[in-house]
Structure 1
Amino acid sequence: MQQHYKLRHGQTYPLGSKFTLKGVNFSIFSRYAEEVELLLFDSSDSDEPFQSIPLKKEINRTFFSWHVYVSKLPAGTWYSWRMDGPGHARDSGFRFEKNKHLVDPWARAVSQKRWSRKAACQPGDNSRTSMRCVVIDDKYDWEGDTPLAIRSEKSIIYELHVGGFTRHPSSKVTHPGTFSGLIEKIPYLQDLGITHVELLPVMAFDEQDVPDNTAKLGLKNYWGYSTHSFFSPHPGYCVTPEQGTHAQEFRDLVKALHKAGMGVIMDVVFNHTAEAGADGPVINFRGIGGKTFYHLDQYDKSILRDYTGCGNTVNANHPLVARFIISCLEYWVREMHIDGFRFDLASAMARGESGEVLQDPPVLWGIELSEQLLKTKLIAEAWDAAGLYQVGSFPGYRWAEWNGRYRDIIRQFVCGDKGLLNELATRICGSSDLYEPQGRLPINSINFVTCHDGFTLHDLFSYNKKHNEANGENNRDGCSNNISYNCGIEGNTNKAAIVALRRKQAKNVFAILLLSQGVPMLLAGDEILHSQQGNNNCYCQDNELSWIDWNMVTQNVDILRFVKAMIALRKRHPSIMRRRFLTGNVIEGKNIADISWHGTEINKPLWNNPEARILAFTLAGIDHHEADLHIVMNMSDEIAIIELPTIKGKKWCLAVDTSLPSPQDIISPQNQKPLGKNFYSINSKTVVALENVNF
């Protein structure tokens, strides 16, 4: 490569590096920088830049943006920034270090090949251990692809980890642990029947961001909740990241999923960054102007306010930061065709610049009202680590929420707790108490029982306590309140009765989840009873403890079959996928209410019985083409005789009974037979669903 390229002043926009056939425009924001230098490299691991370009305030700065145009510079050129400015003392709120190489926050592709987090935490030159950015030619043939428009009420979300989904040798994909590897598993996802994959963080993150004791065990940041480059796909999920193919490889995945009829939801982390606390590394934002980007203590600017449990909190409602976040989301939708976002610890984004909780946070409303994001699904984890809990009250109307209250009540009920019927009914009907008063809908509730954070479904019924010793933190990490039940023995066992109960309980959870109003979310691997051996915080376990073992598909084919059939049952019943709340009123043109409640006897629900653990309800079909449903949940320890409602001209057929062996546990309509009686004997710890047919 030539050693020097001719320069022009450049332009403020677009921020980042913009390639054209005539050259590359570089632009970066820094309000307080006094000296700015752009460094160009032949490769991601070059020791020295082939050209260093000091920028001049008089010609290369417009307001708060620094820019330069490098004529005839080719795509594939690697680069970094260096900045210096006032207030080197930490109590100033600045961390300008003139010898630190900085990652462009708007970089479209980055390399961590030579990255050392430790060196970035220490003062001085880190030129040989820094991350690098690369200029990319952003052309791509989408072949007519656009983001999908699957209605929320018809959505079934499947949360998965891109690396862990195919990294196990049993996956037998060509490139394990990559976007490419996931493409090879699309037929499995299609066969399962889900409508959306929700990808754990795929924006570039720092794999070295773990506690020292954890790092000493050879562990690394696996989940990815340590973002540093919000416009770049994670290089660790790419086949050829040193060639700058990040965007192309990710787009290939999105396009392939869309062709298969599945949308893509990204788990995004705008509440904090990889730069951690006061002693954390200088990667980008801190060296460019951390005073702008982070919440700082009002009196001691060396202290970063921490509402996230990760050392820092993004100052999301600062005008510049809000614009950065919104433009980033719009980029992923416009240029990467993303269908939705799930926001980690989203309530941290509801805080003002002094940390106060805002009634109408500008950044959240800006996201909701963005025209480019109009058809994009927005999902909030509606709490933060400092005690702010906004499930049911998250700002805005279009935002869906991870319904933590749904998760907890279903776990309690299935584990055998009493006195829950009233709230249970509310949760499985879409949580009207949380959403209806504000004019929101059942689709605002993302229903889940397990997710990446906590026990897997298998472990939920195999462990009473977390077992996180392998993380290197003496089992102090992870949540201690798991609302789990080990069915009598902690951990693995060969006792047939306990194994059978655990499998039935897993089916009970799937049945309740997929029969509930709202949007269901499944955790990848639960459908084949993936276990993490009681570890409920596998954030650092990039190994077989977390990876999906594809041998389990064969070993637990009965559970997988059940989940597929439950998803199919949900899809053929619009009455389970309502956009509006149930009323209990008789449907016009039918002699049945949209929902009616029962106990062991018809129309006699056990609302006032504190010992009751049986709930039944009849759900009317939306029209004459849809069968009505009668659903019974018996989490007591006894067999119960359940009276069935009489609907003129119809007979009940058994569709689901989680206590029966496969394939009798779920029966397709063509194989169902009328019961010929008006009662059903339901076993303990069992969910039953019946469909009625004309006769």
Structure 2
Amino acid sequence: MNSTSLQANEKTPSAAKHGISAGKPAPLGSTVSDGGVNFSMYSKNARSVELWLFKNPEDAVPYQIIKLDPEKNRSYHYWHVFVEGAGEGLYYGYKVHGEYAPSKGLHFDGSKLLSDPFAKGIYGAGYSRGDASVFGLENSATALKSVVVADGTYDWEDDRHPRRPLSSSVIYEMHVGGFTANPNSGVSPEKRGTFLGVAEKIPYLKELGITTVELMPVYVFDPQDAPLGLENYWGYSPVNFFAPHWGYGSSPDPIATIREFKDMVKALHKAGIEVILDVVYNHTAESGRNGPWLNFKGQEAGVYYMLDENKQFSDYTGCGNTVNVSDPILRRVMRESLRYWVEQMHIDGFRFDLAAVLTRGEDGQVLVNSPAVNSIEVDPVLADTKLIAEAWDAAGLYQLGFFAGRNGDTRWAEWNGAYRDDIRKFIRSDEGMVPILAARIIGSPDIYVNPHQDINQSIHFVSCHDGFTMGDLVSYNCKHNLPNGEDNRDGLDENFSCNYGVEGATDDPAVEAVRERQVRNFMTAMFFTQGTPMFVMGDEVRRTQFGNNNAYCQNNPSAWFDWNDLERHGQTFEYTRKLIEYTQGLSLFELKDLIKVGHDINRPYVLWHGAALNGADWSPSSHTLAMEMVHPEKGEHLYVVFNMYWGDISFQLPKPIHGRWHLVADTFLPAGENFTFRELYDQENYMVKDRSIVILSDFSLKK
């Protein structure tokens, strides 16, 4: 069935036909105004464009097809039309006709119903990636359908951005669906795995001490972009950069999903919790030449994507294509998307997936002065938002320190991937790690070399969505990714993990005791590090993915938050909660400047010790380090001992400044014996047990 036959046949659903006029090229997308809706899209090489209007999103046949007249409905490369009497809730799509010549970078297929790249709502029930991938197959029955959305109608009440500084932030990486999808979440069935489900769990986040949630991709992605029989769960397969993903709504209605997203953000803000989105502006779900036609590919592939000298899709992302951020059209899509999430959805910041791609030019070369990065930095709408870069890509470009060091200012923060690897190695008792540990816990000055940088631009973490959970780091020596259907080839081979005697789950109490202690060690090291801490949902209760370190296609209980873990591993939760509460109350962990190494009566400083005072052992065989931290102005004095040796070691204590040493935490002790601030009286040494961390605080007896 082609569009010409549809235009003339009598099976077209009955609905009042709309009058039309020329419309305007700006703004792009669908815009509601008095009397109707303006539609505008970009295509440089299209021969003709049709706008298809649908009465219902499930309809295979439109009730009206509007053929755009190139003389009246085209300005430069923008195709536009004003549809009279149309309004919010109207479903639509485009058919874009042109030459199919991959050798020229042209991939037009007029049989495909294409979504609007600027649509604020997308209907996805009934979608078929398979149908969208077959050239010449008419797919209006199974295509994604765009919907007209009227901005500015939601009642935000008195919502305000919390604007919490990074220096006092605790970031919790969360998968919206996986957080409450499990029936044991206590969330009602219709809200499980949705934005509203997240809102119901705000009391849990508050109790834990979370200040910021970083949501894995929430704009529309292709759940069918996965191995056969599996589902793309993580969402790093974007279709549209504006519309919330239909699967996170309590119903298929995309307008209701937008409202529920806003309800979630408003509720989080009322609780003082910021919302950061993980955004993917490096590739799309259209893959390469053999991928589906969803929007960009069928509208102007050679503009929206990087093509090599043979006009083939360049792949710096590992996903079959790379969006062309060097082109002003794609940059406009990205920038307007960011603005939309801030202005209309009240988002507080963004984490840029594979951000190194943003620094590549059209031919893939690395640009020191990237137009894409510059356009984000200077946008006044984004001036108060947090910008966090994943400073690498899938083609080997590793730029850790580049974003945070740009222009000598503090605009960008970065995921500190070196911290993740190095802390894992130290906790595992690898050799040669003590000097590196020292650098990492004071803010990685070897990476962030500008002494005037804000040390909180380093987002330090031990685990995230990508890789082992913290619980699996201490339970598995190697990945177990067979459920992903790729013969265990996917995912990183080296995780710097250790199972401590048994691969996977065990009821051996000795192994369990070491694992529990190592998780506390990871948490303690992370929160006693200068910078901004982040951990992934469930680490506070030792969530497991059963050794799967690449659970991108596991939308099932193996990757969901298991709320029964709160009972199984309640001690870990309590330890983490108290650890966050304690460190959040210390000025020593709200610093912005690099802490001085060496005594100073005027500013915060750190001194390094070993088992003996001033005797730090920096040798390759060392597994211990003691850190004395002092904040003269605030009267804070801490002594933190790291012992990842497999034996007990007695550490000499510095002389207290304010009173006497008190035990804050000892990861070897049961959780209930920590954070009681037991006085050590005149103790001069402390026996630090094997593979454990001890925190002491010196304060006045009157405290």
Same fold (TM over 0.5): yes
Q: Deviations over 1:628-668 (max 9, x none)?
A: 1110000001111111111344211000100001201x214
What corresponds to 1:267 in structure 2?
A: 278
What corresponds to 1:416 in structure 2?
A: 429
> By how many angstroms is 1:169 displaced?
0.5
CA distance in 1, matches of 2:24, 2:474: 59
- Among residues 147, 161, 176, which one is paired with 2:192 in the alignment? 176
1:688 is aligned to 2:694: yes
- Among residues 231, 248, 262, which one is paired with 2:242 in the alignment? 231
Q: Is the 8 A contact 1:40 1:80 kept in 2?
A: yes
- Among residues 22, 31, 45, which one is paired with 2:44 in the alignment? 31
1:519 is aligned to 2:532: yes
Letter in 2 for 1:192: L
> By how many angstroms is 1:399 displaced?
1.3
> By how many angstroms is 1:442 displaced?
1.0
Identical residues among aligned pairs (%): 43
Q: Deviations over 1:223-260 (max 9, x none)?
A: 00000111100000011232522321111111110000
CA distance in 2, matches of 1:577, 1:409: 23
TM-score by length of 1: 0.96
1:381 is aligned to 2:393: no
Letter in 2 for 1:386: A
CA distance in 2, matches of 1:530, 1:249: 27
What corresponds to 1:677 in structure 2?
A: 683
Letter in 2 for 1:199: L
What corresponds to 1:611 in structure 2?
A: 621
> By how many angstroms is 1:415 displaced?
0.4
Q: Could you say what secondary structure the match of 1:545 adopts?
A: coil
How many residues align? The count is 680
> By how many angstroms is 1:3 displaced?
2.8
Q: Deviations over 1:177-202 (max 9, x none)?
A: 00011111010001000110000100
Letter in 1 for 2:446: D
Q: Is the 8 A contact 1:629 1:689 kept in 2?
A: yes
Matches within 5 A, 1:134-533: 134-138=147-151, 139-174=153-188, 175-210=191-226, 214-215=227-228, 218-242=229-253, 244-298=255-309, 300-301=310-311, 303-394=312-403, 396=406, 397=409, 398-437=411-450, 439-533=452-546
CA distance in 2, matches of 1:603, 1:458: 35
Q: Could you say what secondary structure the match of 2:100 adopts?
A: coil
CA distance in 2, matches of 1:52, 1:438: 61
1:20 is aligned to 2:33: yes
CA distance in 1, matches of 2:103, 2:256: 40
- Among residues 97, 107, 113, which one is paired with 1:95 in the alignment? 107
1:10 is aligned to 2:23: yes
Q: Is the 8 A contact 1:156 1:520 kept in 2?
A: yes
Q: Could you say what secondary structure the match of 1:103 adopts?
A: coil
Letter in 1 for 2:141: R
Distance change in 2, residues 1:185/1:34 (3 Å): same
> By how many angstroms is 1:437 displaced?
3.0
> By how many angstroms is 1:113 displaced?
1.1
CA distance in 2, matches of 1:610, 1:541: 40
Distance change in 2, residues 1:248/1:424 (3 Å): same
Letter in 1 for 2:675: I
1:81 is aligned to 2:94: yes
Q: Is the 8 A contact 1:106 1:229 kept in 2?
A: yes
Distance change in 2, residues 1:44/1:467 (3 Å): same
TM-score by length of 2: 0.95
- Among residues 608, 631, 636, which one is paired with 1:621 in the alignment? 631
CA distance in 2, matches of 1:585, 1:497: 40
Q: Is the 8 A contact 2:202 2:268 kept in 1?
A: yes
Q: Deviations over 1:344-398 (max 9, x none)?
A: 1111111000110111111111111211111111111111111100011237342
Q: Is the 8 A contact 1:634 1:685 kept in 2?
A: yes
CA distance in 2, matches of 1:467, 1:648: 51
CA distance in 1, matches of 2:79, 2:549: 45
- Among residues 111, 117, 130, which one is paired with 1:118 in the alignment? 130
CA distance in 2, matches of 1:101, 1:646: 74
- Among residues 54, 65, 77, which one is paired with 1:52 in the alignment? 65
> By how many angstroms is 1:74 displaced?
2.8
Unpaired segments ≥5 residues, structure 1 = none
CA distance in 2, matches of 1:680, 1:585: 23
Letter in 2 for 1:171: S
> By how many angstroms is 1:15 displaced?
1.0
Over the aligned positions, Cα root-mean-square deviation in angstroms equals 1.4
What corresponds to 2:9 in structure 1?
A: none
CA distance in 2, matches of 1:31, 1:246: 33
Q: Deviations over 1:267-307 (max 9, x none)?
A: 01111000001100010000110100111111x11x21111
Q: Is the 8 A contact 2:156 2:266 kept in 1?
A: yes
- Runs of 4+ with >6 A deviation: none
- Among residues 657, 663, 675, which one is paired with 1:667 in the alignment? 675
Letter in 2 for 1:197: V
> By how many angstroms is 1:622 displaced?
5.6
Distance change in 2, residues 1:604/1:140 (3 Å): same
Q: Is the 8 A contact 1:380 1:402 kept in 2?
A: yes
Q: Is the 8 A contact 1:342 1:378 kept in 2?
A: yes
Q: Is the 8 A contact 2:602 2:633 kept in 1?
A: no
